[in-house]
Amino acid sequence: MQKAIISVKNLVKNYGSFQAVKGISFDVYEGEIFGLLGPNGAGKSTTLEIIETLRTKTSGDVTVCGLDLDKHPEDIKKLIGVQLQTSGFYPGLSLVELIELFAGLYNQPVDPAELLKLVNLADKAKSKYKEMSGGQKQRFSIATTLINKPKIIFLDEPTTGLDPQARRNLWELITNIRAQGATVILTTHYMDEAEQLCDRIAIMDEGKIISLDSPDKMIDDLVQSGFERPRQVKAANLEDVFIHLTGKEMRDE
Ligand code: ADP
């Protein structure tokens, strides 16, 4: 039996007369990588920001690590790590200075060198944030979510805009974070990413969850229903060609 670390029941969010989230219910299990997928405007960010205590809900019940969101938002904040928009970092500070700044805000002792090593940026400790490549900035922003040693980490489109090597590198990082015991919730528009990374996914559309299962089960169910791809799938795709030609190693170091 899996243990729910997040429990959402009948969650509703109205913006004026517009209902962005229409009474959704789902659990996220402890230790899983959970994906929230759906077209733009589906209500993903609204849902996540409510769970992150950053937005108010209209109605419904949310429990995080056994704590009621209405009663213990401050305690919940201490148990979660939220990836900030990378534009929020001071560009002229070094990575170590930025980590120390955040550690001060969280009032948490932290070893910047150890944290940077975890995200493969140890040799960039003294470099300024603005000197980082896109992949390095993303890895750094994930490092900042780990400062308060959270039980749950929220990642919003962590690999958007990255090249295939940097995306694979981030998948590895996210898998490592989970291996250390954290639960990860992420949004992505990349279906290959969801398939590779997520134990379970919820697909949202127009404020509702229209499917929730493991990627494997969803694909099997579709095939079972008689679905066939219009043409024979090749044994490789263009991304395989790209990685085969250019290699797996990171280029932004
Ligand atoms: P997603 O993350 O899936 O793209 P959002 O949660 O950002 O979806 O948005 C869901 C819907 O709610 C969209 O139609 C969006 O325009 C609307 N919305 C989001 N934030 C606000 C807001 N602060 N005020 C009014 N409408 C909003």
- What pLDDT does 169 receive? 87
User: CB–CB of 209/37 below 8 Å?
Assistant: no
Give pLDDT tens digits for 68-98. Answer: 999 999 999 999 999 876 667 888 999 999 9
Q: Rounded to an integer, what distance in angstroms lies between the CA atom of residue 43 and that of residue 57?
A: 12
Name the residue with the closest Cα to ligand 1, atom 15: 41
12, 13, 15, 48: residue to mutate for ligand 1 pocket, most atoms within 8 A of CB: 15
User: CB–CB of 27/18 below 8 Å?
Assistant: no
Q: What are the structure tokens assigned to 79, written together?
A: 């148990």
C-alpha dist (Å) from residue 204 to 25, 144, 145, 184:
11, 28, 25, 18
Q: What is the pTM of this model?
A: 0.90
Stretches where the chain sits below pLDDT 50 are: none
C-alpha dist (Å) from residue 9 to 69, 144, 204, 238:
12, 30, 15, 41
How many alpha carbons fall within 13 Å on the CB side of residue 184? 28
The burial of 47, by beta-carbon neighbours within 10 Å (0-12 exposed, 13-18 middle, 19 or more buried), is given as buried
Give pLDDT tens digits for 170-192. Answer: 899 999 999 999 999 999 999 99
CA-42 nearest atom, ligand 1 = 3
Q: Rounded to an integer, what distance in angstroms lies between the CA atom of residue 56 and that of residue 183?
A: 23
Q: Rounded to an integer, what distance in angstroms lies between the CA atom of residue 206 and that of residue 200?
A: 20
